[in-house]
């Protein structure tokens, strides 16, 4: 992202957090064809998106302009990136690590907002499994969704205990499929993601045998680069509504639990478990975010997820600076 647009986005977010009314500089509101629809994803791992979809606040924001709001479901960060790359949506929810991987692959996306700082990943096994620590995974099969924070979490966890993906058999599958494979005994372990992880934890007594919140990257809202160049004023308005949803979510935890339970078809206890592991307190793209992304990028590069030729500093700067 250019420094010019980063300054604009920081200006927007600071004003929103200060409850100020702002007007973008006229130089970024040049005439383009009228926008007919704002297209966003929603995801069970992005609690704020579920609130916005149920409350209709995005629709209320754009109704006076006769701009439709269209929603598309993301089943994982990798699927959200696909939605952005195929121009199905303009805004999509990913983990920060997934956004960085996409950026190194020349996906024209920009991170504009942190919708959560979650502990949404862990390594999971069945209740009666002999696996109790990461070192027990040597020679075992592990399910993980490629291009997601869960996959990066698996790589970092293995590395922490002197292992690599060469020491295990990684079965690449989406998060919901990985959960099912674990429960059906098709794999020995699973690199999990909430709410699927909370669901199997409560319903099947599955065990989270390794947790480390520092290995989880932030939940990031991304926009297509082309949209950002052409319609910066609409980014301001989308972020304004996201801020409304984030603040409401923190102030109404019981209603948030109900919305998640309905939206993801979960028991209340499962929804509560996911919310317990989700921090919604800071939406800013801080230096901590940048540091977490770079650390995840280095691990991904060493594991071959990111090409050795990739310039991580450049990719991070293009994504969030």
Give the pLDDT confidence of 131-159 residue by residue, as tens digits: 999 999 999 999 999 989 999 999 999 99
Per-residue confidence band for 195, with pLDDT thresholds at 50, 70 and 90: very high
In this predicted structure, what is the pLDDT of residue 21? 35
In this predicted structure, what is the pLDDT of residue 152? 95
In this predicted structure, what is the pLDDT of residue 4? 41
Average pLDDT over residues 107-119: 96
Our measurement of the distance from residue 172's CA atom to the centroid of its chain's CA atoms, rounded to an integer in Å, reads 19
Q: Order of strands across the sheet with 37-42?
A: 68-73, 37-42, 91-95, 219-224, 109-118, 278-279
In this predicted structure, what is the pLDDT of residue 295? 92
In this predicted structure, what is the pLDDT of residue 19? 40
The two structure tokens encoding residue 230: 């052409």
Per-residue model confidence as pLDDT tens digits over 73-87: 999 999 999 999 999
Per-residue model confidence as pLDDT tens digits over 175-188: 999 999 999 999 99
Per-residue confidence band for 321, with pLDDT thresholds at 50, 70 and 90: low
| Least confident residue range of 11-25, 211-225, 248-262 | 11-25
Task: Assess whether the region 3-24+35-117+220-320 and the region 121-215 belong to the same CATH fold.
Answer: yes
DSSP letter (8 states) at residue 68: E
d(CA 275, CA 273): 6
Burial (CB count <10 Å: 0-12, 13-18, 19+), residue 57 = middle
Average pLDDT over residues 239-252: 98
The two structure tokens encoding residue 6: 């980063």
DSSP letter (8 states) at residue 165: G
The domains of the chain are located at: 3-24+35-117+220-320, 121-215
- pTM recorded for the entire structure: 0.87
In this predicted structure, what is the pLDDT of residue 42? 98
CATH homologous superfamily, domain 3-24+35-117+220-320: Periplasmic binding protein-like II (3.40.190.10)
Burial 123-161 (b: 16+ CB within 10 A, else e): bbbbeebebeebebbeebbbbbbebbbbbbbbbbbbbee
Type and span of the H or E element at 48:
helix 47-55
State the first-to-last Cα distance of the chain, in angstroms, to the nearest integer. Answer: 6
- At the second CATH level, the architecture of 121-215 is 3-Layer(aba) Sandwich (3.40)
In this predicted structure, what is the pLDDT of residue 2? 45
In this predicted structure, what is the pLDDT of residue 205? 98
Average pLDDT over residues 261-274: 96
Per-residue confidence band for 24, with pLDDT thresholds at 50, 70 and 90: very low
Average pLDDT over residues 96-125: 96
Average pLDDT over residues 293-310: 91
**pLDDT score of 313 more than 50:** yes
Per-residue model confidence as pLDDT tens digits over 43-55: 999 999 999 999 9
Residue 281's φ and ψ, nearest 5 degrees, are -80, -20
Per-residue model confidence as pLDDT tens digits over 228-244: 999 999 999 999 999 99
In this predicted structure, what is the pLDDT of residue 32? 74
* 12 against 251, higher pLDDT: 251
Structural Rg of the chain based on CA atoms:
19
**pLDDT score of 69 more than 60:** yes
Greatest CA span in the chain, whole angstroms? 63
d(CA 85, CA 37): 17
């Amino acid at each position: 992202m250019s420094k010019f647009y980063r300054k604009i986005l920081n200006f927007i977010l600071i004003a929103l957090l200060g409850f100020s009314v702002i007007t973008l500089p006229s130089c970024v509101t040049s005439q383009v064809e009228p926008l007919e629809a704002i297209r966003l994803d929603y995801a069970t791992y992005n609690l704020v998106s579920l609130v916005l979809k149920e409350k209709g606040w995005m629709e209320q924001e754009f109704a006076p302009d006769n701009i439709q709001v269209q929603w598309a479901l993301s089943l994982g960060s990798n699927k959200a990136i696909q939605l952005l790359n195929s121009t199905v949506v303009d805004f999509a929810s990913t983990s920060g690590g997934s956004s960085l991987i996409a950026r190194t692959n020349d996906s024209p996306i920009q991170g504009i907002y942190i919708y959560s700082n979650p502990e949404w990943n862990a390594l999971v096994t069945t209740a009666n499994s002999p696996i109790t620590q990461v070192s027990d995974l040597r020679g075992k099969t592990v399910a993980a969704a490629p291009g997601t924070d869960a996959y990066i979490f698996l790589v970092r966890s293995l590395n922490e205990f002197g292992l690599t993906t060469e020491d295990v058999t990684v079965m690449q599958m989406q998060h919901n499929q990985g959960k099912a494979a674990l429960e059906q005994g098709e794999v020995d372990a699973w690199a999990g993601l909430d709410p699927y992880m909370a669901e199997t934890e409560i319903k099947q007594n599955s065990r989270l045998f390794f947790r480390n919140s520092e290995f989880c990257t932030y939940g990031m809202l991304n926009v297509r680069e082309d949209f950002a160049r052409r319609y910066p004023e609409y980014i301001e308005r989308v972020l304004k509504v996201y801020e409304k949803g984030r603040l409401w979510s923190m102030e109404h935890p019981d209603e948030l639990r109900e919305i998640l339970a309905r939206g993801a078809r979960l028991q209340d206890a499962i929804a509560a478990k996911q919310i317990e592991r989700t921090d919604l307190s800071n939406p800013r793209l801080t230096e901590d975010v940048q540091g977490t992304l770079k650390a995840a990028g280095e691990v991904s590069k060493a594991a071959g997820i990111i090409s050795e030729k990739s310039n991580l500093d450049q990719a991070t700067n293009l994504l969030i600076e």
